[in-house]
Amino acid sequence: MTAVLGETWVLARRELTHWRQQPAGVIVNWLFTVMIALMFGGLFGGAIGEDYFDYLMPGMFALTMFFGVEATMTAVSTDAAKGVTDRFRSLPIHSASVVLGRCLADLMNSAVGLVVLVGAAAALGWRWQEGLGRALAAFGLLLLLRFALLWVGIFLGLVVKGPESVTMVQILVWPVGFLSGVFVDPATMPSWLGTIAQWNPLSATAAASRDLFGNPGLIPDHAMLLAALWPLLLTAIFLPLSVHRHRRLGS
Amino acid sequence: MAEPAISADGIRKTYRGAQTPALNGFDLEVPGGMVYGLLGPNGAGKTTAVRILATLMRLDAGRAVVAGHDVSTEAARVRQRIGLVGQYAAVDEILSGRQNLVLFGRLNHLGQARAVSRADELLERFGLAEAGGKPVAKYSGGMRRRLDLAASLIVSPEVLFVDEPTTGLDPQGRQEVWSALRELVAGGTTILLTTQYLEEADQLAHRIAMLWHGRVVSEGTPDELKATIGGDWIDLAFADADQARQALPTVAAHADGEPRTEEHRISVPVRQRTRALIAISTALAADGVEPVEVNLRRPTLDEVFLDLHRKQGDKQEVAA
């Protein structure tokens, strides 16, 4: 067990070394969501209403977690394509360490991204209104979503042929991001579209964190429950799929 | 006799959805402390064999023992004793050479200080000391391969698998990798080298097994193999097809096998290259038919395997 923890940490630290080696890429990535937030806040804020920025921010936090799928998928498929995964598999380490190292590294990356975005939001006047305890619960839900999406990313990264296929996912995250409660209230969409937007994991986490932060926006029924259940469901599906896929590397 | 470093007995492996097996009764016995070449054309099953022996892939049937441990039931023990250099330089391109070696050192359970000092030793040994701090993305193909080799030697493996180490390298990179491999064997490591180049196997390996459609069809020292595959070839080109026809009986008389003709060209297998070359040139000069071009060359792998295939076919016919 301690061996697994040690190996996990060594592998996660590899990712931290990546940040140091290529700081520009990581920083741009962290600032990207800040830019999106400023852009949408600025573009739509005037048209939608004064408190749009406060509505938008929890959605942006959730979207940042969602964007993580892409990062995980890129890293996993690059390692597989370059033979690095095979090298890890030929080493005397526990196979869980490789996956856990990826988890830890990507969670750290997303946590920093979240801190950067929260910092930027706070500088622009966004606040949590219901106390630190509920705010921490909201951050917990956000990271839980990220954790669940990790397994989606690992699975997709092992399924695709190479890092090139990631481009497709990079394009697809946008419509999924828009088709949610991140930018606007799904209640304002045509009803069939609104239903899809309302019930996806991204919207659930966005709505639940709006509730916990005390930010404006209609909070649909069961938002909190869904924000907890969706990630658990995704993990329950994609964790075994990822493990299965990882095992299949050997068959 | 000492236990072999690698032994494989009747390994079968069929990939999911594939019509024909990748390995079809693969047998191999590699004594310790030598470079053993596994030679075969693309698709013969070389990489499959290496992946199974290195515990990356499960076998369907048969048994394999590497460094004294069964790959199916004692994979973890096997992994402690092997190194693997795959077809791609499996190193992290963003990290520097040194950072890569420290990472793999830590994953081999060396302490941080030991991993760093080992990384420096290996960088020095593989002529990468100067480039050690640069990201691997800036390395040449030969440098990457050497780093890859270094990464698999962190804990001095008993058995090292090297899968097509020079595919895609320029001649300089190839030389660099070859000399690195030669040094390794001098240090006592057993190396299983796969290659599709006859020349590479000839240069590096003490023994060679030839793989064809998933099984070993021939095995021996490079000299033994060359003897069974008919040695070298002489290619002759004449001014025109008429001249080539005229020359054919003379050339055939000095050949050690069936000559092949194509328009104005004749190719013949010969056993003793220099003697045959002189004999053929002298005889042709006496006939007054002089070739415009003469080339002495090793058989191509295609010729070797076609030849083997034919002999195997003959044997099967005799057996039938």
Which ipTM score applies to this complex? 0.86
Q: What is the pLDDT along chain A (251 residues), one digit of tens a residue?
A: 788 899 999 999 999 999 999 999 889 989 999 999 988 888 877 777 778 888 899 999 999 999 999 899 999 999 988 889 888 988 888 888 999 999 999 999 999 999 999 999 999 889 999 899 999 999 999 999 999 999 999 999 998 877 777 888 888 888 888 888 888 888 888 888 888 888 889 999 999 999 999 888 878 778 889 999 999 999 999 999 988 888 778 77
B6-227, which class in CATH?
Answer: alpha beta
> Is A151 inside any structural domain?
yes
What is the rounded average pLDDT of the residues B131-138?
95
The two tokens of residue A236 are 């329950």
pLDDT of residue B301: 64
Longest pairwise C-alpha distance within chain B: 76
Helices (H), A82-218: 84-90, 95-123, 132-159, 166-178, 191-199, 201-213
Tell me if A190 is assigned to some domain.
yes
Class of domain B232-297: alpha beta
* Residue A10, in any domain of the structure: no
Angle at A167 between CA A161 and CA A173, to 5 degrees: 120
Chain B, nearest residue to A14 by Cα: B103
Instruction: Considering only CA atoms, give the Rg of chain A.
Output: 19
Residue B297's beta-bridge partner residues?
A: B233
B6 forms beta bridges with B30, B66
Cα–Cα distance, A189 to A208 (Å, whole number): 20
Side chain identity at B87, as an amino acid letter? Q
pLDDT band at B317 (very low <50, low <70, confident <90, very high): very low
Instruction: Give the whole-angstrom CA distance, residue A18 versus residue A20.
Output: 5
Measured between CA atoms, how close is A133 to chain B, in angstroms?
Answer: 39
Better pLDDT: B143 or A246: B143
Tally of structural domains, chain A: 1
* Amino acid, single-letter form, for residue B221: T
Residue B43 gets the label, from left (phi > 0), alpha (psi -120 to 50) or beta, of left
| Burial category of A57 from C-beta neighbours within 10 Å (exposed 0-12, middle 13-18, buried 19 and up) | buried
**What letters, b where the CB count within 10 A reaches 16 and e where it falls short, cover A89-126?**
bbbbbbeebbbbbbbbbbbebbeebbebbbebbeeeeb
Task: Residue A229: give the domain boundaries.
Answer: 34-248
Instruction: Match 């691997």 to its residue by tokens.
Output: B136
Contact B104 A87 (CB under 8 A): yes
- Interhelix angle A23-48/A52-81, nearest 10 degrees: 150
Residue A66 falls within a domain, yes or no? yes
In a domain, A69, yes or no: yes
Q: What is the torsional sign of CA B223, B225, B231, B232?
A: negative
Q: Are A119 and A126 in contact (CB under 8 A)?
A: no
DSSP one-letter code for B128: -
| Residue A179 counted as domain residue | yes
Taking a C-beta distance cutoff of 8 angstroms, is the pair B164, B87 a contact?
Answer: yes
Q: How far is CA B172 from CA B142, B166, B178, B194, B233, in A?
A: 8, 10, 10, 20, 26
Give B275-316 pLDDT, tens digit per residue.
Answer: 888 999 999 988 888 899 998 887 766 677 777 767 666 554
Interface of B with A (CB under 8 A): 16, 51, 54-58, 76, 79-80, 82-84, 86-96, 99, 103-104, 106-109, 135, 151-152
Asked if B303 and B250 count as a contact pair (C-beta separation under 8 A), the reply is no
Q: How far is CA A18 from CA A97, A99, A109, A117, B252, in A?
A: 18, 17, 11, 21, 65
Cα separation, B142 vs B131, whole angstroms: 13
Res B314: pLDDT:
56
Q: Is A162 on the interface with B (CB under 8 A)?
A: no
- Cβ contacts below 8 Å, chain A against chain B, sum to 73
What's residue B302's pLDDT?
66
**Total residue count of chain A as it appears in this document:** 251
Contact with chain B for residue A136, Cβ under 8 A: no
Cβ-Cβ contacts under 8 Å for A114 (sequence gap 6 or more): A61, A64, A65, A139, A142, A143
Is the CB of residue A234 less than 8 Å from the CB of residue A72? no
Neighbouring C-alpha atoms within 13 Å toward the C-beta of A149: 27
pLDDT tens digit sequence for B73-116: 999 999 999 998 877 778 999 999 999 999 999 999 999 999 99
Rounded Cα–Cα distance for residues B313 and B302 (Å): 16
Nearest chain A residue to B80 by CA: give it: A92
CA–CA dist B191, B183 (Å, integer): 11
Minimal CA–CA distance to B103: which of A232, A93, A205, A68? A93
Domain ranges of chain B: 6-227, 232-297
Triad B178, B184, B185: Cα angle to 5°: 95
**Residue A4 included in any domain:** no
Query: How many whole angstroms separate alpha carbon A150 and alpha carbon A155?
Result: 9
Q: Do A93 and B56 touch (CB under 8 A)?
A: no
| Beta carbons of A208 and A223 less than 8 angstroms apart | yes
Residue A233 is assigned to a structural domain of this protein = yes
Q: Higher pLDDT residue, B9 or B300?
A: B9
CB atoms within 10 A of CB A238: 20
Q: Answer whether A10 sits within 8 Å of B103, measured CB to CB.
A: yes
Residue found by looking up tokens 């963003």 in the block = B94
Residue that the structure tokens 């013949």 belong to: B268
Q: Which residues of B touch A84 (CB under 8 A)?
A: 90-92
Residues of A in contact with B107 (CB under 8 A): 7, 10-11, 88, 91, 93
Same fold, B6-227 and B232-297: no
Question: B264 - beta bridge partners?
Answer: none
Interface test with A, best of B14, B107, B145 (most A CBs within 10 A): B107
Distances (CA, A) of B296 to A24, B100, B231, B262, B267: 56, 44, 11, 17, 10
B151 touches B99 (CB < 8 A): no
